Amino acid sequence: MDLGYNPMKLPVCSIRKEILLNQDDVVIRCRGLVKRYGDVTAVDGLDLEVLRGECFGLLGPNGAGKTTTTEILEGLLPADDGDVTVQGLRWGESDAELRQQLGIQLQETLLPAKLTVTEVLRLFRSFYHNGHAVQEILDTVELNEKKDAWVSKLSGGQKQRLAIGCALVSEPDILFLDEPTTGLDPQARRKVWEIVEKFKSGGKTVLLTTHYMEEAERLSDRVAIVDHGKVIALGSPRDLIGRLGGEDVVEFSVEKGVRLPDAGDLESLTGVQSVLIQDEMVRLSVAKVHLAVPALLEKLAETGAQLSMLTTHHATLEDVFVALTGRHLREA
């Protein structure tokens, strides 16, 4: 899909702000990260800095290189190129020290099926010098009622909360969450979010990987949008959405065989900030939806075009991703 031009005129990222940061506040830093699998470059010169006490979201479609990046930062994969520091330490030099400080939840870990919730937490607790009592974690992840149940008897959401419990049991400074709510129903997802928010409220740092824009918007202080192994936009969710120029998005398409109004004509409509025409679909970023829609209808009536579809919604990170890449998060 060739967009031809970048109608949203998005700045790629605001580097200036980070240079001014106190270096002590940067807990994870990576520069020029590269990882290749054969001919495929999964991570292609990725830079990022995560600040103490923030929840930093890596948002992108499947296959964007988020998990690879995370696992390099977690010291589970060697990078082909680039420099990584976590808490000012480097993998390969201070592994034992780093492992004590990090709480890690991986995608799709099958915890021992025939152990109880308590037994699994006790096992993970035994790996760390310091940490929470198992009972505290049971309370935190709301698994008290299930504490004597085998892992195999837990629901998807309960298993995921237990996996997060295993990451929290060491009282970590940094929590890595890789797609923590993939495959969960909305209620189970909200419970996970509450746990993450509780952890963050203690001034701790979270690095979150997700392809759900609601999750990134709700949990993240800052989001890096990742595509093809690179950060293509960076900022707070509000900031990124704001760069679209309008708070709302109007999408419409017209009956076949009728000429659409020109992009320029549409952009000059009242309240319309920018226009993206993609196949049959037209997306307008609008500031005042109550003015923009009547203006649009009037314009269409002028040109004799019949609407076949019209929707409006509040702009989300999804719209930011579409504006940047012409693709949706889910379709990669």
Partner 1 sequence: MKHSRHSLIELTMARLKEFWREKEIVFWVFCFPVLLSVALGLAFRGQSEVLIRVAVLDVEGAAELAKSLDEHESIDCFLLTEAESVVQLRNGDVVMLVVPGNPHSYRYDPTRTESSFARLLVDDALQRGAGRQDLLLGKDDYVEQVGSRYIDFLIPGLLGLNIMGSGMWGVGFAVVSMRAGKLLKRFLASPMRKSDFLLSFLLSRLVFLLPEVICILGAGYLIFGVEIQGSILSVLLVALVGCIAFSGLGLLCGTRIKTVEGAQGMLNLVMLPMWIFSGVFFSTKNFPEFMQPVLKFLPLTALNDAIRAIMLDGASLASTAGGLMIVVAWGVIPFFVALKIFRWN
* Shortest distance (Å) from residue 156 CB to partner 1: 15
CB atoms within 10 A of CB 127: 12
**Smaller CB distance to partner 1: residue 132 or 230?**
132
Which among 216, 197, 200 has a CA at the least distance from the CA of 54? 200
16-31 in b/e form (b: 16+ CB < 10 A) is eeeeeeeeeebbbbbe
Q: Measure the CA–CA gap between 155 and 157, rounded to whole angstroms.
A: 5
Cβ atoms of residues 85 and 97 within 8 Å: no
Q: Helix 156-168 crosses helix 186-201 at what angle (to 10 degrees)?
A: 10
**Smaller CB distance to partner 1: residue 132 or 211?**
132
Residues near partner 1 (CB under 8 A) are 74-76, 96, 99-100, 102, 104, 106-112, 114-115, 119, 122-128, 130-134, 150, 166, 170
Q: Residue 87, class by beta-carbon neighbours within 10 Å (0-12 exposed, 13-18 middle, 19+ buried)?
A: middle
* Shortest distance (Å) from residue 105 CB to partner 1: 9
**Smaller CB distance to partner 1: residue 50 or 232?**
50
**Smaller CB distance to partner 1: residue 67 or 325?**
67
Cβ atoms of residues 167 and 130 within 8 Å: no
* Shortest distance (Å) from residue 131 CB to partner 1: 8
Given 3-state DSSP classes, what are the helix, strand and coil percentages for the chain, each rounded to the nearest 5? Answer: 35, 30, 35
* Shortest distance (Å) from residue 175 CB to partner 1: 12
What letter does residue 169 receive in the DSSP assignment? Answer: T
**Smaller CB distance to partner 1: residue 43 or 120?**
120
* Shortest distance (Å) from residue 161 CB to partner 1: 15
**Smaller CB distance to partner 1: residue 111 or 216?**
111
3-state secondary structure of 165: helix
* Shortest distance (Å) from residue 237 CB to partner 1: 28
**Smaller CB distance to partner 1: residue 19 or 96?**
96
* Shortest distance (Å) from residue 60 CB to partner 1: 21
